[in-house]
Amino acid sequence: MNYFGVFLKGILMGAADVVPGVSGGTIAFIAGIYDILLKSIRSINLGFISVWKKDGFKNAFEYINGFFLIALLGGILIGILTLAKLVSWLLVSNPIQTWSFFFGLILISAFHMFRQMKKQCSFFRFLFLVFGGVFAYVITMLRPLQFEFTGIAILFAGSLAICAMILPGISGSLVLIFLGMYTPMLEAVKSFQIDTLVLFLLGCVGGLLSFARLIYFFINKFRDVTLLFLSGLMLGSLPKLWPWKITVSWRIDANGELTPFLEKNLSPFEFEIVSAQPAQLGSAVIFMFCAVGLVLGLEKISKG
């Protein structure tokens, strides 16, 4: 296995996890490492300890596909730590083009996942696509909660966010926004607050070890309907990524700064009238097609 390639894919996953609405699990699926990731995480259990005692650490390390996990997690951490500031800056300086890119990314990713089905989509299976879309839409449209930035809240946020991060279609960042923890955690990453990051990481480990087993079970036993549900999750999250939106209400974050609380989607033409700003439709379409090209390129590389 090309572990440097796995590392680069991890960087892309980390970059995706910074963005509200984009899941690192989606990138893993497109890059062709999703099943390996779930299987490797699932193998971190009591069997790992048994192999260690019986055959030594080297065999136990191979049992959990350790080099793969280190390369991937290293890339994810590098992606989050190095690209958090860049993504934050792009969302402020070029919001329409940035959101357009992510919109195109999720749209083509849903199509990519839909094509992985082994059997034809029946009406019954189509219901799973609809259910996934409705579920994601409701989640993305809920009013954000207001959790206090405490140790327990950070652990809880980490456990929920990591579940979303490995689930294609639902973004860990989106979960943090819903919990009211996105801005504080982004600031913790940018300013490298060790205590906060360690608590969040502990929450992630707990959530990851439990949730990965559940996803692995459904992927293996009910692959087609699971893929349809995940495709629905992606399509249902698209309204959150719509490039043309205005802020309806604001809130004060943990740093005492005003941040958007509720937003409303508009058509590009309505956006120009309401905001008195250009819709930049041409560049938005170009960036959407760039995202499509990126996914098709990743798909081709993963097959090669």
Residue-range domain boundaries for the chain: 3-303
List, in sequence order, the alpha helices (H) in the chain: 3-18, 24-30, 34-42, 46-55, 57-63, 66-93, 95-114, 123-141, 151-165, 172-178, 182-191, 194-221, 223-236, 238-241, 268-275, 281-303
248-292 per-position pLDDT tens digit: 776 665 555 566 667 788 999 999 998 888 999 999 999 999 988
Give the whole-angstrom CA distance, residue 133 versus residue 109. Answer: 14
**Per residue in 97-109, pLDDT tens?**
988 988 888 888 8
Q: What is the pLDDT of residue 302?
A: 63
What is the reported pLDDT for 287? Answer: 93
Q: What integer pLDDT is reported at residue 147 of this predicted model? A: 63
Using 70 as the pLDDT threshold, list the residues of the chain that sit under it: 1, 20-22, 142-149, 169-170, 250-261, 302-304
Check: CB of residue 228 under 8 Å from CB of residue 125. Answer: yes
* CA 181 to the chain's CA centroid: 16
Q: How high is the pLDDT of residue 256? A: 58
What confidence score (pLDDT) does residue 258 get?
62
The pTM of this model reads: 0.74
Note the pLDDT of residue 146.
63
| Per-residue pLDDT tens over the stretch 136-146 | 888 777 666 66
